[in-house]
Amino acid sequence: MTATPETIVSRPIARPLDGWLRVPGDKSVSHRSLMFSAIASGTSRIRGLLEGEDCLATANAMRALGVAVTREAEGDWRVVGRGLRGLEAPAAELDLGNSGTGMRLLCGLMAAQSFSSTLIGDASLSTRPMRRVINPLSAMGARIDSVDGHAPLVIHPAESLEGVNFEMPIASAQLKSALLIAGLYAASPTTLHEPAPSRDHTERMLSAMGAEVTRDGSTVRIAPCQRLEAVDIRVPADLSSAAFFLVAASLVPGSELTLEAVGINPTRRGVLDILEAMGADISLANPQTVGGEPVADLTVRGVTLKGARIPESLVPLAIDEFPVLFVAAAAADGVSEFSGLAELRHKESDRIGVMAAGLRALGVRVEEGDDWVRIEGGQLAGGTVDSHGDHRIAMAFAVGASVAAAPVTIGNAREIATSFPNFLELAGTAGLSVGPAA
């Protein structure tokens, strides 16, 4: 698999997208499968693991903590768990690269250990807010030093952790997961109240491994745990990665593209609901449950998308898909309005600001506020955009160029490899024209 180039060019295409694709494994499930298998008792086999740079950083962090993590074939991994209390002090800093998921979840895990650790990341990750995780973990008894709420994070041994009853200020699966992981080690139960549903992969996987996790409406509770049992895990195809092809095939007339075995977890499927609100033609077939996660084949057909006002209730269920949804709105007929998007300001980039600037560079009329975006649809012009090292923004503009008036050059695209290392290859298979700049 070749590395993603720093600059790519995506060109308008003349024929419909068709065929069958299998996008890589779910990023959220992959991170958790590595981390939770590491603290389980016994050997877990993981099939379909996403081998992007973010997940590989988590695998390396587990190795640094004394866990035997072995890649046996493409996507097939074996993890020999050390048990809840079996991790070893790392000899060096734990480098999470660009992965906010890896760093925030690891905060919860390392806060419960009997040794110190230091979590670092790349320049982008070092700007992302960590106080939202540090503060509630500190209320549980964790001792975490930061640089004004940012990485590097130095985590000291805590005498003990106590459960908390915590009102979450935002709907964040990363925050929720960090606290649930720490709750495994606490002396009393941990209860979290969500303002809106967020991804529940942590609850599903920990429950499958034997943890006592319960939900009552918007409240999630985890009891202290003595032991997690290793399980075999099949990682579904990532809906966030599938979203780029769902939008591309929707925009190109005559397309009919099927994406195989995609995860359709109810706490993740907001992108499907938003696209359907815009008139997309997406059908589901062969539904089944794989490793506790619902999956289905998704077939999408080319249509004329319509502008829509998207309810805030769908935002937490599609938080990673908004870059490509903004592109869908830019190519749709009419005006689209999105609100409740404040969290997008704190992703790998300021996704509202960066997407708005890129769309304007391609001739799209965009208005933005602190947490809202208004996009007037029409045809995108060609031009040059800067993804600011944000993988999802780079891929979103690659999709938009397929129906632009002229080619689009996308800078700082190398980070696509963090979540979708074979994006260029699969894009070509589907019928998109994306490749390195000359």
Q: Which amino acid is at 99?
A: S
Select from 150, 321, 314 the least CA-distant residue to 243.
Answer: 321
pLDDT at 3: 76
Domains and CATH numbers, the chain: 8-22+236-436 (3.65.10.10), 27-223+230-234 (3.65.10.10)
CB-hemisphere CA count at 13 Å for 118?
7
Tokens linked to 158: 């805590």
Cα 187 to Cα 163: distance, rounded to the nearest angstrom: 6
β 76-82/41-47 pair status:
antiparallel
Residue 315's closest CA among 219, 221, 191, 199? Answer: 199
Closest by CA to 27, choosing from 165, 173, 168, is: 173
pLDDT of residue 154: 98
Per-residue pLDDT of the chain (438 residues; tens, 9 = 90+): 457 899 999 999 989 999 999 999 999 999 999 999 999 999 999 999 999 999 999 999 999 999 999 999 999 999 999 999 999 999 999 999 999 999 999 999 999 999 999 999 999 999 999 999 999 999 999 999 999 999 999 999 998 999 999 999 999 999 999 999 999 999 999 999 999 999 999 999 999 999 999 999 999 999 999 999 999 999 999 999 999 999 999 999 999 999 999 999 999 999 999 999 999 999 999 999 987 899 999 999 999 999 999 999 999 999 999 999 999 999 999 999 999 999 999 999 999 999 999 999 999 999 999 999 999 999 999 999 999 999 999 999 999 999 999 999 999 999 999 999 999 999 999 999 999 997
277 close to 329: Cβ distance less than 8 angstroms = no
The whole-number pLDDT of residue 183 equals 98
What is the residue whose two structure tokens read 């996308």? 410
pLDDT at 290: 85
Q: Is the CB of residue 266 less than 8 Å from the CB of residue 198?
A: no
Q: Which pLDDT belongs to residue 2?
A: 57
CA dist., res. 225 & res. 55, Å (int):
26
Alpha-carbon span 284 to 362, nearest angstrom: 33
Catalytic site residues? 320
Please give the DSSP secondary-structure letter assigned to residue 229: B
Alpha helices in 140-284 (DSSP H): 173-185, 201-208, 239-251, 270-277
CA 354 – CA 333 distance, rounded (Å): 23
Q: What are phi and psi of 307, to 5 degrees?
A: -60, 150
Under 8 Å CB-to-CB from 48, ≥6 apart: which residues? 25, 75, 234, 235, 236, 237
- CA separation for the pair 166, 136 (Å, rounded): 8
Residue 204 backbone dihedrals phi, psi, to 5 degrees: -65, -45
Q: Which amino acid is at 233?
A: I
pLDDT at 1: 47
pLDDT number for residue 4: 84
How many CA atoms within 13 Å lie on the side-chain side of 222?
Answer: 29
